Chain A
Amino acid sequence: MLKRIGPVNGRDHSQITPEGAVCIIREADFPKPFPWELEYNCPVHENWNIVHTGRLIPECHAIYVCNDNCLRGVIMTADEMKGEQQFSAVMPNERDSINGRLEQVTIDGVSRVIDRLPYRPKAVQVFLVCMHHFVGADERYIFRQLRERYPDIFFMQCWMDPIMQKVAKTPEQKQRYQMMLPVQPLPENLFHVNVLGDDLPLPASCDIARLLAGHQMILRQVQDCQTFAEYKAMGDGWLTLVRSPLAVYGVSRLSRASRRPYLYLSVPMTYEEIRLRLTELMTLVYEKEDENRETSVAKKLAAEEVKAFAEREIPECEAAFARLREKLTGWSVALDYLGCVRPLSTARLLLDHGIRVTKVYADAFDPIEEQDYLWIREHTPMLSIASTNHPRARYVAPVERGMKEKVLAIGPKAAFFENTVHFVNQIESAGDWGFDGIKCLISRIEKALQEEKDPESIVPLKGLGWENCVE
């Protein structure tokens, strides 16, 4: 990537204080430590956006209906991941937007795109935007018309309406729900457990997969599907698991409609919570295996199995921590909410094992982390919480001041703000979970200590894990 950007400004920002952009956890509000103000956007884009997530469904085309500025970001996302063949757009102009023609332009534009495609998609995600809300466009009419015109195509009613995200469901929540709709209930297969709504797949080595395998159950994930038909066939799963908080809304609705259970397994990092979540999962498994079994019995069986499992796993984690502690002598650790689904749980785990975590980069927390927040407040009250989008965030530790030494970052935003060459380049906890996830994280930290990476050439790239053609 081009780096020569001309003379760097000679502005001296040393007078800018971090006030407002950084606070210590003892004084931080939970779950929102920073107020909504003007937002800075740091040059870190490894997270997935709605374009990346939408691409998970095979044989699916995406069509965005929006104006130039908004459209540009998603088009370029698709182009950078070489996804232009599965991506199209409709760009209403000023007149279309204000003269009551927006619905018709949307319907005709989407139709025109579909008619001109060199292939016939099995499904189409159509994204309406903030503008459709504000001119009162009739979403139902738009999709009714499209379904009448293309009865062979499964339409997903998606939104790219960030104007709603702070006060209602986010575009990601709505999209993930729509993406689950093709998975309609089929006759149950007792050996199939679905994972829905997550960007990254659960690895076969994770605790969940191994415990389920002991009961002859397999995980089925959208990332394994090659065709839309295979994706729809996931409707035979008897249980749905979800890790992303953005997908809980969709999975819970799906569960109510299908009358099949779901379990929210946010990514816990402490031993106790991992055991707790695994016990919840295995209780459902024992109940399902024998529907006459009482819940209390199922719970007992589950607890015994998980206890035995944990007794094998925890010593391995502890041994890994002992190694890591030694290697991290003299180092401080910063982590961020992009790299870790549960940044506070991760920080707690590391602090509890003698690792010097000094800063957590996050603008808000998932309420599920409250116990971790309270624990850290009590045990490490001076831990810093740093905003990534506060107007002064850029100036707290500007890159112009040079690389930091002996700082290890977990996550791309921490890598940028800490300006360190030693960082674990991961998003969404790399898809890992449980004791296995802890061991994987330790292994990645050890690797990051050994090798240097240039954050400038890595963290601005979009959608970690996807192909990227930026030169």
Chain B
Amino acid sequence: MKEAYRIIPVYAGDVSGVASALYELGGMVVMHDPSGCNSTYNTHDEVRWYRKESYIFISGLNTRDAVLGNDDKFMEDIVAAATGLSPAPKFIALCNSPIPFLNGTDFRGIARLLEKRLQIPVFYVKTNGMHDYVDGAGRAFACFANRMLPRSCEKVASLDPVRINLLGMTPLDFADYQNVENLKKQLERAGFTLVANWSYGSSFDEVMTSGQADVNLVLSATGLPLAQKLRELYGQPYVMGLPLGSLAKVLYENIKKAARGEEYCVNPALELLSGEDREEGKTLYLIGEAVLAKSLAYHYVKDLGFHRAVVLCPLEGSKELISPEAGDLLTEGEEELEEFFKDKKNVSILCDPLYRPILPSGAKIYEYPSLSFSGRIFGEHFPVFF
């Protein structure tokens, strides 16, 4: 039964994804929720909350207002908060937990009314607390780009160096900030110029210049809807994957090809590992976010001696990011994963440590804790990929 979870946790939810994505972009995020969403988010799904402030609030919805449809209170409270903060938020993003979804709250209408009163952009990120962070963060990035970025951008024609944006970089997938610093240096050494980082160690001003980039590098599934939006807005191509080991060179070549308008491979790790579903040989199973897991799969097969790598992805919006030909699988719920590994002996599995209770006892586990799954429990051991 996919709904039953005996022992493993669930991934961070969509509302946490929204807040994480927009955290540093200068706006205000309001979760329409009775209680708990913000606490869960800032305790377990966020590493910045103590030292780096952000305008993130919950509405404290109560049953009377929910049943009677008293949206006025919600709006008045937002107006009061937004006008009392200095500097004023550059935008307001609304998102919500299940009850406003069940009672059909008209968030788009509320956003229009608020925008009229406050004279700052207000948009709704469609959530309902029933989806995972990939869905929430992906929507938040795309909504922000759709509402806030200039429609066109004049940029210098030169492709030397190639200018890139990093998409899908949030602590939920890359909790240790060293990832950001190292990746920036690595890309500079490889001859690229970084335009905007979406959005860890970033800012409103930085992401607003995204149109200057030639190519977008998508680092996690949370960045894919944004990549599609930027292609629509500015015609920017995108390449997916993490520049790890020998995959780095492949990615760089494809980024340059994309910048020059030549034929290129969008997701090299996916395409180059496709068709490698051999039944024999040393196999690594990877559980987790699809872009990251597929990049690690490539790295372990091409650089670290594995013959085969299979990605098991329990997250939404990932169907196009895995390869059934390579044996990859979208999974749902704890039991499906437990069943998958039931008869597998002496397997190697790369995953968050909290998957351990449902994996075979003899399995060799490569522990890659992720903020999106085990939260802050393994805070000292978040992986540094670059």
Name A's B-contacting residues (CB within 8 A): 1-9, 11-13, 15-16, 19-20, 36-41, 43, 45, 67-73, 75-76, 79-80, 84-85, 87-94, 96-98, 105, 108-109, 112-113, 116-117, 130-131, 133-135, 161-168, 391-392, 394-395, 398-400, 456, 460, 462, 469-471
Query: What are 5 of the A-B contact pairs (CB < 8 Å)?
Result: A8-B52, A13-B53, A15-B86, A94-B131, A395-B53
Q: Does B300 contact A (CB under 8 A)?
A: no
Q: Point out the residue from A79, A109, A162 that lies within 8 Å of B1, measured CB to CB.
A: A109
Closest Cβ–Cβ distance, residue A445 to chain B (whole Å): 25
Set B45, B51, B129: member contacting A67, Cβ < 8 A: B129
Distance, CA A11 to CA B85, complexed state (A): 11
What is the CA–CA distance of A43 and B38 in the complex, to the nearest angstrom? 10
* B4–A36 touching, CB < 8 Å: no
Partner of A39, one of B4, B38, B97: B38
| CA gap between A469 and B178 in the complex, in Å | 23
In the complex, B281 has a CB within 8 A of chain A: no
Residues of A within 8 A of B66 (CB): 134, 163
Q: How far is the CA of A150 from the CA of B178 in the complex (A)?
A: 51
In the bound complex, what is the Cα–Cα distance between A88 and B39 (angstroms)?
Answer: 20
> Bound state CA distance, A191 and B112, in angstroms?
67
Identify which of A87, A131, A161, A391 gathers the most chain B CB atoms within 10 Å of its CB.
A391
B375 interface neighbour in A20, A68, A80, A165, Cβ under 8 Å: A80
B9 at the interface (CB under 8 A from A): yes
Q: In the complex, which residue of chain A has the Cβ closest to the Cβ of B84?
A: A392
Cβ–Cβ contact A5 & B382, under 8 A: no
**How many angstroms from the CA of A109 to the CA of B5 in the assembled complex?**
9
**In the assembled complex, how far is the CB of residue B19 from the closest CB belonging to chain A, in whole angstroms?**
11
Q: In the bound complex, do residue B50 and residue A399 qualify as a contact, i.e. CB atoms below 8 Å apart?
A: yes
Interface residues of B in 113-157 (CB under 8 A from A): 128-132
Question: If the complex has contacts A73-B39, A471-B377, are A2 and B382 also in contact, measured as CB distance less than 8 A?
Answer: yes
| CA gap between A183 and B366 in the complex, in Å | 47
Which of the 9-residue segments B28-36, B214-222, B234-242, B251-259 touches chain A? Answer: B28-36
Whether A69 touches B14, Cβ cut-off 8 Å, given contacts A79-B374, A91-B3, A391-B85, is: yes
Across the two chains, which residue of chain A brings its CB closest to B31?
A: A69
Among A5, A85, A165, point to the contact of B48 (Cβ < 8 A): A5
Q: What is the bound-complex CA distance between A73 and B80, given in angstroms?
A: 28
Q: Closest residue to B40 on the A side, CB-wise?
A: A73
> Does B363 count as interface, using CB distance less than 8 angstroms?
no
Contacts of A131 in B (CB 8 A): 98-99, 102
Take A1-B379, A72-B44, A460-B43 as given contacts and tell me if A90 and B3 are in contact as well, using a CB distance cutoff of 8 Å: yes
| B64 contacts partner chain A, Cβ-Cβ < 8 Å | yes
**Nearest-CB residue, chain A, relative to B133:** A68
List residues of chain B with CB within 8 A of the CB of A460.
Answer: 43, 50
Cβ-defined contact, B86 with A167, below 8 A: no
Does B43 contact A462, Cβ atoms closer than 8 Å? yes
* Complex partner residue of B203 from A9, A113, A395, A469, CB under 8 angstroms: A9
| Interface residue stretch chosen among B55-63, B303-311, B323-331 | B55-63
Q: How far does the alpha carbon of A422 sit from the alpha carbon of B377 in the complex, in Å?
A: 26
Taking the nearest CB of chain B, how far is it from the CB of A110, in angstroms?
8
* Alpha-carbon distance between A1 and B44 when the two chains are bound, in angstroms: 12
* A-B contact number at CB 8 A: 251
Nearest B-chain residue to A10, judged by Cβ: B203
B376/A2 in contact, CB under 8 A: yes
B188-224 residues with Cβ-Cβ distance < 8 A to A are 200-201, 203
Q: How far is the CB of A229 from chain B (nearest CB, A)?
A: 25
Q: Quick check: is B176 within 8 A (CB to CB) of the other chain?
A: yes
* B298 CB–A CB distance under 8 Å: no
Tell me whether A72 and B45 are in contact in the complex, defined as CB-CB below 8 angstroms, given that A12-B87, A134-B66, A167-B63 are known contacts: yes
User: Contacts A15-B86, A163-B61; is A135 near B102 (CB within 8 Å)?
Assistant: yes
Cα distance A88–B87 when bound, in Å?
Answer: 44
Most buried by A among B99, B176, B381: B99
| B365 interface residue per 8 A CB criterion | no
Q: Are A5 and B57 in contact (CB under 8 A)?
A: no
Complex Cα gap A19–B83 (Å) = 12
In Å, the complex CA distance between A258 and B45 comes to 45
Asked if A6 and B381 make an inter-chain contact with CB atoms under 8 angstroms apart, the answer reads no
Residue contact A43 to B43, C-beta cutoff 8 Å = yes
Per-residue A-contact encoding for B350-386, CB less than 8 Å = 1, 0 else: 0000100100000000000000001111111110000
Q: Does chain A have a CB within 8 A of B226?
A: no
- Check if B49 is an interface residue, CB within 8 A of chain A: yes
Q: Least Cβ distance of A23 to chain B in Å?
A: 15
In the complex, the answer to whether A45 meets B57 with C-beta atoms within 8 Å is: no
Q: Is the pair A471, B375 in contact by a Cβ cutoff of 8 Å?
A: no
**A43 touching B64 by the CB < 8 A rule?**
no
CA distance A91 to B314 in the complex (A): 14
How near does chain B come to A375, taking the closest CB pair, in angstroms?
A: 31
Contact, CB under 8 Å: B97 / A69: yes
From A88, A130, A392, give the contact of B98 (CB < 8 A). Answer: A130
Q: Is B77 an interface residue (CB 8 A)?
A: yes
B128→A94 contact, CB < 8 A: yes
In the complex, what distance in Å separates the CA atom of A162 from the CA atom of B40? 14
Bound-complex Cα distance A304 to B24 (A): 64
Residues of chain B from 90 to 110 with CB closer than 8 A to chain A in the complex? 97-99, 102-103
B283 near A: Cβ within 8 Å? Answer: no
Find chain B residues with CB under 8 A from A395 CB: 53, 85
Residues of A within 8 A of B98 (CB): 67, 69-70, 97, 130-131, 134
Q: Is the CB of A79 within 8 A of B35?
A: no
Please name all residues of chain B whose beta carbon is closer than 8 Å to the beta carbon of A73 when the two chains form the complex: 36, 39-40, 43-44
A323 to B57, CA, bound (A): 43
Contacts of B4 in A (CB 8 A): 88-90, 109, 112-113, 116
**Contact pick for B9, options A9, A67, A72, CB 8 Å:** A72
Q: B53 near A4 (CB under 8 angstroms)?
A: no
Closest A-B pairs by Cβ, 5 of them? A73-B40, A69-B13, A6-B201, A162-B35, A69-B129
The reply to whether B30 and A38 contact each other, CB–CB distance below 8 Å, is: yes
Given contacts A73-B36, A163-B63, A399-B50, contact A11 B57 (CB under 8 A): no
**Do A2 and B175 touch across chains, with their CB atoms under 8 A apart?**
yes
Q: Which residues from B are CB-within-8-Å of A4?
A: 176-178
Complex interface: chain B residues within 8 A of A76 (CB): 9, 40, 43-44, 375, 377
Minimum distance in angstroms from B60 CB to a CB of chain A:
5
Contact assessment for A38 and B86 in the assembled complex, using a CB-CB cutoff below 8 Å: no
- B5 is contacted by which of A85, A88, A165, A399 (Cβ under 8 Å)? A88
CB-contact partner of B376 in A1, A13, A70, A92, under 8 A: A1
State how many angstroms separate the Cβ of A413 from the closest Cβ of chain B: 13
Q: Report Cα–Cα, A76/B36, bound state, in Å.
A: 13
Q: Given A2-B376, A11-B87, A37-B77, A75–B15 Cβ distance below 8 Å?
A: no
CA distance A401 to B118 in the complex (A): 30
Also in contact, A68 and B129, with CB within 8 A (given A5-B48, A109-B4): yes
